[in-house]
């Protein structure tokens, strides 16, 4: 188990070892020795870092960061898009533990994950690696994953920090995001992972943030990450993300990966020699890299072979918990024993189960959905036709005819469709949400003749379900499920597994309905996050744009009811929610209880509601469970950029128990005192309104202004009170100079001082 942070004793040893090194040796620690490992220098051994996140991509031969060359066999667990839909932190931790065991066995010290970037647009090419459009899910699952991996003595490197939400121009683009949005949407998953699970490392992203490369961003890597969040581990670069090594070192980037054959090492040494770089930067980073090596060294530890079968079984269970049953008219699913089934679509035989790029795993085995269905339902009950060619886009009439012939004769047709792996990868984004035309043609042709039609989707990012949605009876969102997805799909189709996944991202009707539509993927080197905090469901709910399936949606073969929702407010800015959930159906199943908070009107525009707590619970038929959720101050707060702090608006909040972000089953109103009475600090440029309504400065200002007035002048001033509204928005330093007003600047400065002496709230 990796200690949360290097113990001071160990740290002293590392510090001493590093301090005694020659400058050349210290500097050698700051760049990779090669593609996947760090340099071995006097007293500090080398370590291996490798991808991640849903499997171990250990390359024994040629190395690359795009999954082009082969890697050793390892379990391909469900990628982030699937695991995110499980909403199951215990499962994420178990998967993490298994990944840790495999990493150890394959000689990997640091596994490059989890990937907790937010799905800002459904088009992002790497959405299949990411968990959600919501920071709470991403953070909770990411933290659980880190706990799991690190419990095996293997390090983790949470990535890609930060605002890396597209692949287009990813190595240069500037993500132009306001600070409140960064703090509320793009940072919290990283913040939670760092603070809850103490990952050994953080990987900075390729892109710029508001003009500055993440790798050179002192505010990001030092002020926020280390000083505010207390991160004590090492910061490493994404592969090739460093453009100016010396600037990056100063900003807080410890380890550049991969190595650059000594070029950047020489740059650092010459900067130290010419006095433009203080050696303290070299020392601090070298100590962190050496500490990372020491924390993740498992000499003498157990590196025995992992249990391939047990890990495959876990991958199947994890995939089963991630599948989302979107639609199930007239109880079409699960399939009843004896049902004659037509299995259609080549994905049933050649499944799509992961994405392209650096996360590409060489699986230990692959479950084939068709075979698994045959095992479950019996050979003679399952008939198959490919329906389309995986690579083709034109519907072939022969293939369609063969498929519809089978569909006509079956009780139920199951159509396997989705996106090919080539279409979803690191390095580029999608341009639309469409399924291939020949897949759509197959669904439509089958639905027209079949008794019952079930569609099974395999895709990394969401696809549109139009125009065929209403013509089919059931839809399973099967994501990219990893190597055991075929078995897991058969389990859900036949009812051996009761589906319990919930959408961790909205399925829109159209691309045009998505929040980032007009600002994705940017132009001229900039992508403007114009939707601010209104990402995903936050946008759909606030702007009232209907979605085909909302965030949080997912059906089960049983039904869950809720009762006894109550909320206690023990203080001014936090609450405890209690409720009882009951499995009211006749089979065991798992529900995801979702708690949203809707805030009152305040100084900033807040999303209509935001997910603030959730828990997955498994219940036997008839079983009830009472749950408690703690909502802390942050659950109610927004980030106040004028004051650089989290602020809680006083007023009435609605605590909402949702079956999804759109379907609220019960709500309870609470009143929070929040930050009542707290006013933003005054400055010379605060507005006239802020000055006059300030509880300390306001009365003093009025007193000062009216002191020398005659009774008549005072009456006239009072009569003009309403007129004052017209100048409410003027900065005080301008107003104070206006003819007829003239408030001396010293007087204002004294008042500012007075408000600091007697702060309010």
Q: From the list 26, 120, 159, 316, which residue makes contact with ligand BGC (rule: CB under 6 A)?
A: 159
Instruction: Identify which of residues 50 and 556 has a Cβ nearer to ligand BGC in the complex.
Output: 50
Minimum distance from CB of 65 to ligand BGC (Å)?
Answer: 3
Token output for 266: 């020489």
615 near ligand BGC, judged by CB under 6 A: no
Token output for 38: 């760090």
Q: What CA–CA distance (Å, rounded) separates 453 from 28? A: 61
Instruction: Identify which of residues 184 and 429 has a Cβ nearer to ligand BGC in the complex.
Output: 429
Minimum distance from CB of 110 to ligand BGC (Å)?
Answer: 10
DSSP-derived letter for residue 477 is E
Q: From the list 27, 59, 65, 500, which residue makes contact with ligand BGC (rule: CB under 6 A)?
A: 65
Residues with Cβ within 8 Å of 277's Cβ and at least 6 positions away in sequence, in order, are: 246, 249, 250, 268, 271
Q: Catalytic: 238?
A: yes
Minimum distance from CB of 138 to ligand BGC (Å)?
Answer: 15
Instruction: Identify which of residues 65 and 615 has a Cβ nearer to ligand BGC in the complex.
Output: 65
Minimum distance from CB of 229 to ligand BGC (Å)?
Answer: 21
C-alpha neighbours within 13 Å on the C-beta side of residue 370 = 19
Instruction: Identify which of residues 234 and 271 has a Cβ nearer to ligand BGC in the complex.
Output: 234
239 near ligand BGC, judged by CB under 6 A: yes
How long is the chain?
761
Instruction: Identify which of residues 221 and 323 has a Cβ nearer to ligand BGC in the complex.
Output: 221
541 near ligand BGC, judged by CB under 6 A: no
Q: Applying CB under 6 A, what is the total number of residues that bind ligand BGC?
A: 8
Are residues 313 and 367 in contact, defined by beta-carbon separation less than 8 angstroms?
Answer: no
Tokens 């600037």 correspond to 247
Q: What CA–CA distance (Å, rounded) separates 717 from 723? A: 10
Q: What angle do CA 291, 293, 298 make, to 5 degrees?
A: 125
DSSP notation for 346-392: GGGTS-----BSTT---BS----HHHHHHHHH-GGGEEEE--S-TT-
Nearest by Cα to 14 from 365, 327, 292, 430? 292
Minimum distance from CB of 743 to ligand BGC (Å)?
Answer: 56
Tell which positions 625-664 bind ligand BGC, by CB under 6 A.
none
> Site mask, ligand BGC, residues 11-50, x = CB under 6 A?
----------------------------------------
51 near ligand BGC, judged by CB under 6 A: yes
112 near ligand BGC, judged by CB under 6 A: yes
Q: Which residues of 640-677 are buried (b: 16+ CB within 10 A; e: fewer)?
A: beeeeebbbbbbebbbbbbbbbbebbeeeebebebbee
Q: What CA–CA distance (Å, rounded) separates 750 from 752? A: 5
169, 238, 438, 573: the active-site residue: 238
Residues with Cβ within 8 Å of 726's Cβ and at least 6 positions away in sequence, in order, are: none
> Site mask, ligand BGC, residues 501-540, x = CB under 6 A?
----------------------------------------
Minimum distance from CB of 189 to ligand BGC (Å)?
Answer: 15
Are residues 619 and 625 in contact, defined by beta-carbon separation less than 8 angstroms?
Answer: yes
Tell which positions 331-370 bind ligand BGC, by CB under 6 A.
358
> Site mask, ligand BGC, residues 72-91, x = CB under 6 A?
--------------------
Cis peptide before 511 (omega within 30 of 0): no
Instruction: Identify which of residues 241 and 440 has a Cβ nearer to ligand BGC in the complex.
Output: 241
Instruction: Identify which of residues 238 and 640 has a Cβ nearer to ligand BGC in the complex.
Output: 238
Q: Which residues of 557-580 are buried (b: 16+ CB within 10 A; e: fewer)?
A: bbebebeebebebeeebbbebebe
Minimum distance from CB of 241 to ligand BGC (Å)?
Answer: 8
What is the binding site for ligand BGC (CB under 6 A)?
A: 51-52, 65, 112, 159, 238-239, 358
Q: Active-site residues: which are they?
A: 238
């Amino acid at each position: 188990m990796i200690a949360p942070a290097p113990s001071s004793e160990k740290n002293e040893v590392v510090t001493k070892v590093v301090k005694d090194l020659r400058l050349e040796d210290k500097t050698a620690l700051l760049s990779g020795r090669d593609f996947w490992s760090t340099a071995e220098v006097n007293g500090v051994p080398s370590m291996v870092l490798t991808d991640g996140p849903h499997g171990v991509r250990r390359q024994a031969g040629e190395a690359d960061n795009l999954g082009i060359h082969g890697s050793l066999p390892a379990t391909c667990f469900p990628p982030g898009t699937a695991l995110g839909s499980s909403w199951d932190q215990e499962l994420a931790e178990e998967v993490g533990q298994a990944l840790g065991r495999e990493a150890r066995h394959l000689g990997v010290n640091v596994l490059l994950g989890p990937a907790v970037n937010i799905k800002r647009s459904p088009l992002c090419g790497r959405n299949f690696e990411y968990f959600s459009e919501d920071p709470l899910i991403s953070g909770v699952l990411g933290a659980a994953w880190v706990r799991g991996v690190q419990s095996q003595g293997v390090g983790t490197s949470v990535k890609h920090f930060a605002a890396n939400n597209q692949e287009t121009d990813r190595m240069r683009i500037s993500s132009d995001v306001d600070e409140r949005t960064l703090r509320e949407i793009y940072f919290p998953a990283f913040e939670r992972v760092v603070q809850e699970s103490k990952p050994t490392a953080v990987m900075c992203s390729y892109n710029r943030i508001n003009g500055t490369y993440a790798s050179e961003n002192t505010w990001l890597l030092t002020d926020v990450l280390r000083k505010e969040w207390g991160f004590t581990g090492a910061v490493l670069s994404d592969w090739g993300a460093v453009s100016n090594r010396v600037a990056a070192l100063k900003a807080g980037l410890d380890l550049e990966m991969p190595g650059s054959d000594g070029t950047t090492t020489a740059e650092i040494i010459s900067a130290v020699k010419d006095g433009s770089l203080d050696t303290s930067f070299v020392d601090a980073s070298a100590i962190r890299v050496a500490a990372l090596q020491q924390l993740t060294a498992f000499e003498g530890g157990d590196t025995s072979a992992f249990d391939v079968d047990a890990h495959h079984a876990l991958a199947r269970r994890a995939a089963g918990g991630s599948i989302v049953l979107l639609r199930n008219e007239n109880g079409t699913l699960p399939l009843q024993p004896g049902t004659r089934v037509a299995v259609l679509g080549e994905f049933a035989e050649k499944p799509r189960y992961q994405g392209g790029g650096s996360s590409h795993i060489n699986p230990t085995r692959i479950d084939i959905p068709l075979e698994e269905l045959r095992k479950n339902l019996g050979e003679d009950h399952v008939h198959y036709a490919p329906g389309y060619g995986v690579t083709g886009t034109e519907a072939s009439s022969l293939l369609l005819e063969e498929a519809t012939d089978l569909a006509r004769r079956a009780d139920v047709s199951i159509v396997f469709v989705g996106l090919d792996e080539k279409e979803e990868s690191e390095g580029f984004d999608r341009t639309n949400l469409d399924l291939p035309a020949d897949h759509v043609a197959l669904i439509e042709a089958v639905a027209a003749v079949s008794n019952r039609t079930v569609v099974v989707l395999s895709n990394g990012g969401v696809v549109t379900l139009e125009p065929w949605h209403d013509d089919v009876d059931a839809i399973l969102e099967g994501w990219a499920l990893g190597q055991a997805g075929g078995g897991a799909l058969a389990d859900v189709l036949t009812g051996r597994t009761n589906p319990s996944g919930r959408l961790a991202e909205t399925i829109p009707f159209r691309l045009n309905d998505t929040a980032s539509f007009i600002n994705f993927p940017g132009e001229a080197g900039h992508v403007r996050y114009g939707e601010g905090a209104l990402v995903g469901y936050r946008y759909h709910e606030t702007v009232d744009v209907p979605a085909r399936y909302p965030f949080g949606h997912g059906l089960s073969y049983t039904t869950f009811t809720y009762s006894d929702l109550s909320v206690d407010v023990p203080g001014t800015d936090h609450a405890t929610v209690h409720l009882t959930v009951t499995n009211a159906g006749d089979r065991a199943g798992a529900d995801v209880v979702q708690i949203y908070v809707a805030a009152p009107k305040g100084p900033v525009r807040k999303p209509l509601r935001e997910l603030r707590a959730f828990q997955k619970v498994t219940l036997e038929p008839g079983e009830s469970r009472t749950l408690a959720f703690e909502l802390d101050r942050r659950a109610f707060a927004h980030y106040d950029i004028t004051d650089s702090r989290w602020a809680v608006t006083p007023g009435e909040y609605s605590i909402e128990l949702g079956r999804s972000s759109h379907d609220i089953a019960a709500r309870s109103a609470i009143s929070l005192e929040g930050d009542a009475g707290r006013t933003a600090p005054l400055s010379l440029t605060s507005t006239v309104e802020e000055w006059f309504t300030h509880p300390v400065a306001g009365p003093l200002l009025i007193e000062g202004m009216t002191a020398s007035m005659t009774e008549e002048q005072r009456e006239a001033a009072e009569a003009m009170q309403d007129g004052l509204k017209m100048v409410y928005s003027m900065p005080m330093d301008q107003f104070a100079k206006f003819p007829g007003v003239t408030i001396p600047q010293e007087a204002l400065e004294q008042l500012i001082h007075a408000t600091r002496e007697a702060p309010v709230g």
